[in-house]
Amino acid sequence: MKRSQHLLAVAGLALAVWAMSYGFYYAVWIEHQTLDHIGGSLAGAFQHAALRETAASHASLDDYARAKYVYTREVDAHSHWIGLAMILMVLAALWDRLSFGEGVRGMLALVLIAGAYGFPLGVLIQNYVGSGVGQGIAVAASGLMIVAFGLVAVGFARER
C-alpha cells in the first residue's frame, strides 16, 4: 500500500468523522432554532403586509432571505463534506489501478484532499467573511477537484 493511497484513506475517513460531528452539533444546537427563525420571519413578512406595514414587511423578508442564505450554506457544507469524504475513500481503494507514478499519485491525492476539505469550507465561510472570499475559495477548490478527478478518470482509463 502506497503512502498516497493511505493518505487518501485516512484523510477521507477523518473528513467523514468531521462532517458527521459537524452535522451532529448542527442538528442539536442550531438547526431547529434556525428553521423556526426562517419560518417566523417569512410569516411575519406576510402578517405585516396584511396590516399594511410595508417597511416592516420588507425588513422581515430581508431577514428571511438572510437566514435562508445562511442555512443553505450550513447544510450544503455538511452534505458536501460527507459526500467528498466518501469519494476520497473510494478513490483510496482504487488508487492502485491508477496508471501514474507515485509522484503524480501523491500530487493528485493532495489536490483531491485540498479540494474536498476546501470546497465546503469556502461555501460555509460565505456566511462569515463575505460572499466574495468564500466564493473564491469554493470556486478554486471545486475547480481543483474537477481537474484532479478528470485526471484520475484518465488514469483509470489508461489502466494496464
Partner 1 sequence: MGGDALRAGPPLHGVMVTASGTSNGARAAAAFPRPGARRLLVLGGLALFLGGTILGDVFAIFILHPNADRIGQALAAATAAVRQHRAEDAGQSFAAIGGFLENRGTKVDAHSHMIGFGYLAMLLAILYPWVRLSETTSRRLAAMLITGGVVLPVGVFAIHYVGLAYSPLESIGWASIVADAAGLLVVIACAGFLAGLWRQWRSGETPAEDALLRERSWAGRVLMAGGTLLILAGFLHGAWYAGVDLYAQEKQERDLLGAMADSAALDPGPGVIPERAGTALNAYGMLQADHAVKIAAHSHMIEFGLIGLLAGFFQPFVFLSEAWKRRWAVVLLLGSVTLPVAVLLELRYGLLAGGFADAGGALVITALAGMLAGVLRFTGQLDAASEPVGAGGRA
**Contact residues for partner 1, defined by CB under 8 A:** 1, 6, 9-10, 13-14, 16-17, 20-21, 23-24, 27-28, 32-33, 36, 39, 42-43, 45-52, 54, 57-58, 61-62, 64-65, 68-69, 72, 79, 82-83, 86-87, 89-90, 92-94, 96, 138-139, 142-143, 145-146, 149-150, 152-153, 156-157
Of residues 21 and 128, the one with the C-beta less far from partner 1 = 21
CB 63 → partner 1: shortest distance, Å?
A: 10
Q: How many Å apart are CA 72 and CA 78, to the nearest integer?
A: 10
Q: Which of helix, strand or coil describes residue 1?
A: coil
Residues 6+ apart with CB under 8 A from 29: none
Of 100 and 149, the one with the shorter C-beta distance to partner 1 is 149
For partner 1, the closer of residues 10 and 114 by Cβ is 10
- Among residues 94 and 110, whose Cβ is nearest to partner 1? 94
CB of 67 to partner 1, least distance (A): 11
Nearest distance in Å: CB 101, partner 1: 19
**Using CA atoms, how far apart are residues 157 and 160, in angstroms rounded to an integer?**
9
* Residue 148, C-beta contacts closer than 8 angstroms, at least 6 positions apart: 108, 111, 112, 115
The three cell numbers locating residue 15: 473528513
Are 129 and 72 a contacting pair, CB within 8 Å?
no
110 HSE (CA, 13 A, CB side): 6
